[in-house]
Amino acid sequence: MHNKCTTNFIFSKIIYILICCFTIVSCKKASFNENKSSLNNPVLNRNQTLKTGFDFLPTSTTNQIVNHEFYSLSYNEKYEQAEWVSYKLTSQMISQHHFERPFFIDDPMVETHSANWKNYKKSGFDKGHLCPAGDMKFSEKAFEDTFFTSNISPQKHDFNDGIWNTLEAKVRYWAVKYNTIYVVTGGILSANLQTIGPEKVAVPNYFYKVLLNNSNGQYKMIAFLVPATNSNKPLYEFVVSVDLIEKLTGINFFPKLEDALENRLEQNNDYKKWSF
Q: Which residues are catalytic?
A: 129
Identity of residue 267: Q
Cβ(150)–Cβ(24) below 8 Å: no
Q: Which residues contact 242 (CB under 8 A, 6 or more apart)?
A: 210, 221, 223, 253, 254, 265, 266, 267
Kindly provide the residue ranges of all beta strands, DSSP E only, lying in 173-238, ordered along the sequence. Answer: 180-187, 195-196, 201-202, 206-215, 218-227
Q: Give which of 172, 171, 208, 202 is closest to 189, Cα–Cα.
A: 202
Give phi and psi for 232, each to the nearest 5.
Answer: -100, 10
202 burial type by CB count under 10 A (0-12 exposed, 13-18 middle, 19+ buried): buried
Compute the distance between CA of residue 91 and CA of residue 176 in angstroms, rounded to an integer: 4
Q: Which residues contact 53 (CB under 8 A, 6 or more apart)?
A: none
Compute the distance between CA of residue 151 and CA of residue 165 in angstroms, rounded to an integer: 16
